[in-house]
Amino acid sequence: MNLETIRTFIQSLDKNRVKVLNMTGSNVVIDELKNIVDELEASVWDKRSQEASSHLKDKSEEDRRMLLMSAKEKKFFLKYKAENPDNKWDYFEDYAKEVSQDFSKSLDK
């Protein structure tokens, strides 16, 4: 079951809301349906989360770290890595200095 199925189910309930509300004990039915939909949605999100984590597991440490970087930081990291292949993770101190300098320049304007 996917989110599209859940959405279709909710739309069907919405279209037939008058019939559902006129049913005897409709409050109980509506609460049960809401709980079912909540469980289905949680199940879909769990599956998505598991799939995403399996994709991350297949990536190298460098790829995972780069997913968290901004575009500017990635560019700086790749340039730094090319210049310092043995100490590529030391880039952050130099990157912090560059960002600080850029910030100071923007304040001076």
**Number of CB atoms found within 10 A of residue 78's CB:** 14
- Report the pLDDT value the prediction gives residue 77, as an integer from 0 to 100: 93
Structure tokens at 5: 């199925």
Question: Does pLDDT of 79 surpass 90?
Answer: yes
Q: pTM for the full model?
A: 0.48
- Report the pLDDT value the prediction gives residue 20, as an integer from 0 to 100: 72
pLDDT (tens digit, 9 = 90+) per residue, 18-73? 777 777 676 777 777 788 878 888 888 888 888 888 887 888 888 888 888 899 99
The full DSSP string for 12-73 is: HHHHTHHHHHHSTTHHHHHHHHHHHHHHHHHHHHHHHHHHHHHHHHHS-HHHHHHHTS-HHH
Sequence ranges of the domains in the chain: 3-57, 61-108
